[in-house]
Structure 1
Amino acid sequence: MPVSVTRTTITTTTTSSSTIVGSPRALTQPLGLLRLLQLISTCIAFSMVASVAAWTGPMGNWAMFTWCFCFAVTFIILIVELAGLQARFPLSWRNFPITYACYAALFCLSSSIIYPTTFVQFLSHGRTRDYAIVATTFSCVACLAYATEVAWTRARPGEITGYMATVPGLLKVFETFVACIIFAFISEPALYQNKPALEWCVAVYAICFILAAVTILLNLGDCTNMLPIPFPTFLSGLALLSVLLYATAIVLWPLYQFDQRYHGQPRRASDSSCGYSHPHAVCFWDRRLAVAILTGINLLAYVSDLVYSTRLVFVKV
């Protein structure tokens, strides 16, 4: 079974949750206590919001979904570990917990930013606003707890570990998450329709997202040996292709969205959709700017992915 490791010679195995689970004592271990904190904080967050119906629109729905989803999956992980069912779990337990923790940290981070800026600040003072503030606070606590788990269980020199615990594996999670945010901002087809260059950018976002998601799924399912080419070659080729594709998008998207020569809008004031204020809406010009920034962020992530992928050594255990 192929796994990724660092350049250092391997002599010991990674200390993971699977070595301390299978009994109630697992909850007294640092990682078990950390997951209890995640469970409690996400539970309080969605309970506070649900008790006063303090969510409206896509942004509020996203925050509510995030807290409920993270609570449910964390609960499942705790049950699996307490019962010692890692071997029966359908996904690779070397890769699944840290992959989920990374996604959960990003989800809670986004909710901790989006929910107060698009919803809480527009609430009048009272019980609903107070409950929403409490939910935001515990969302931040959950984010820190999940981020701590990622830092705790990530791969270190001299350890055998799953690919998703390495820097390139975690970058894959980040890349897919940023792509999902980009998809949310370009959900209005009017932003790119009838402009081949912008449609190409949308295709770039979709292609790179699919390739990164396939890599994650292959590792979660321990199916990397099913590829027709060696997994290291696949990773390096994927990272290089993604860098080249995003390099075109980082040029074309701002050029055709903000340059007047290509019928772009260089100033926010020129966008009529930004002339009115709505707490749960994002105008077209802001969407264009957000996508341009996120494209640059993801390009940097793919460049880092390429650098780290070429430095990894793959062995068979």
Structure 2
Amino acid sequence: MVTLDIRTLVVRILEVILTCISFSLVASVGHSTASFWTWCMFTWCFCFCVTILILVLELTGLSAKLPISWDDFTTAFAMLATLMVLAASIIYPVFYTCPSCGRQIGASVTSCLAFILYAVEVGLLRAKPGEISGFMSTVPGLLKVLEAFVACIIFICLDYNQFSRFPGLQWCVAVYSVCFIFALLVIVFTICRLLTLFPAPFDKVLTVCNVLAVLMYITAVVIWPLYSFKNNPRPSYCKNGIRCPWDNYVVITFMTCFNLAAYITDTVYSFRLVFFVTRT
């Protein structure tokens, strides 16, 4: 049975309004074929549409009839929307605003406010100590969404012509892919209530996979910059303020380190879940 919380309801209504204002202001400026512009517009439109869908399903009571874990779905989406809108709130002002760009600045402000609201929603949906809730509302569940999102950023920055030349870089891509697939499976299986299909207790499977992910990411943290930057300085044509393909190496390196930290945190929580919580 899905119950309506007035605070969450108000937050979602404000999210709809702010994301609508963001993409409306940007659309009124004009269309662009740039990938960053497309990403920002997709983010605001996607979050707007899904948030409206969630509101309609909850207000009509249809959410209780869906064959999914509604609480897990809404929590996973809130976390995903928080990360997506955060990225849009950074990217759009950096590339598309100027002191005289009133509508662009307005869109950036409303996007930042939308990010804050989605983060507040995650805080409202997150499981409290002693509270019985779905896996996605726990810290490990939220970390799975974060890990998958960071992996998507890495995939966007990858260039086949760059990593196909070195087996070491191909291994790193394999690491990103395998860990992303597992994180995605955990999210999908949780939302669709299919965790019983795991061949062993879910918490133990999660712990083992997290340990393997940490070990694999440790190798990627070492190998990726070693092969990417050795005898490969930043090209002279990459002027200050101009983004070039070489910068993708830096982004991937940073995101690899960030995801390693996320997996280490996830592993710590998993060990706590298996060896402490379950025993008590």
Gaps of 5+ in 1: 1-16, 21-25
Rounded Cα–Cα distance in structure 1 between residues aligned with 2:241 and 2:107? 25
Counterpart residue type for residue 181 of structure 2: I
Match of 1:173 in 2: 145
Rounded Cα–Cα distance in structure 1 between residues aligned with 2:143 and 2:166? 31
Residue 68 (structure 1) aligned with residue 48 (structure 2):
no
Residue 243 (structure 1) aligned with residue 214 (structure 2):
yes
Residue 233 (structure 1) aligned with residue 217 (structure 2):
no
Q: 3-state SS of the aligned residue for 1:312?
A: helix
TM-score, normalization by structure 1 = 0.83
Between the two proteins, what is the percent identity of the paired residues?
45
Q: CA deviation at 1:241?
A: 1.1
Q: CA deviation at 1:93?
A: 0.6
Matches within 5 A, 1:232-311: 232-260=203-231, 265=232, 267-268=233-234, 271-275=235-239, 278=242, 282-311=243-272
TM-score, normalization by structure 2 = 0.93
Which of the pair is proportionally richer in helix? 2
Counterpart residue type for residue 174 of structure 2: A
Q: CA deviation at 1:283?
A: 1.4
Gaps of 5+ in 2: none
Contact 1:55–1:119, Cα closer than 8 Å, also in 2: no
Rounded Cα–Cα distance in structure 2 between residues aligned with 1:249 and 1:203? 10
Query: Taking structure 1 as reference, are residues 191 and 276 closer, same or farther at Cα in structure 2, changes over 3 Å only?
Result: farther
Larger radius of gyration: 1
- Please give the root-mean-square deviation of Cα atoms over the aligned residues, in Å: 1.8
Counterpart residue type for residue 80 of structure 1: L
Residue 136 (structure 1) aligned with residue 120 (structure 2):
no
Higher relative contact order (CA 8 A, sep 6+): 1
Contact 1:46–1:67, Cα closer than 8 Å, also in 2: yes
Matches within 5 A, 1:94-133: 94-121=71-98, 125=100, 129-133=101-105
Q: CA deviation at 1:250?
A: 0.3
Q: CA deviation at 1:120?
A: 2.1
Q: CA deviation at 1:276?
A: 8.1
Q: CA deviation at 1:272?
A: 4.4
Query: Taking structure 1 as reference, are residues 86 and 251 closer, same or farther at Cα in structure 2, changes over 3 Å only?
Result: same
Rounded Cα–Cα distance in structure 1 between residues aligned with 2:83 and 2:189? 21
Contact 2:89–2:108, Cα closer than 8 Å, also in 1: yes
Match of 2:180 in 1: 209
Contact 1:55–1:64, Cα closer than 8 Å, also in 2: no
Aligned length: 276
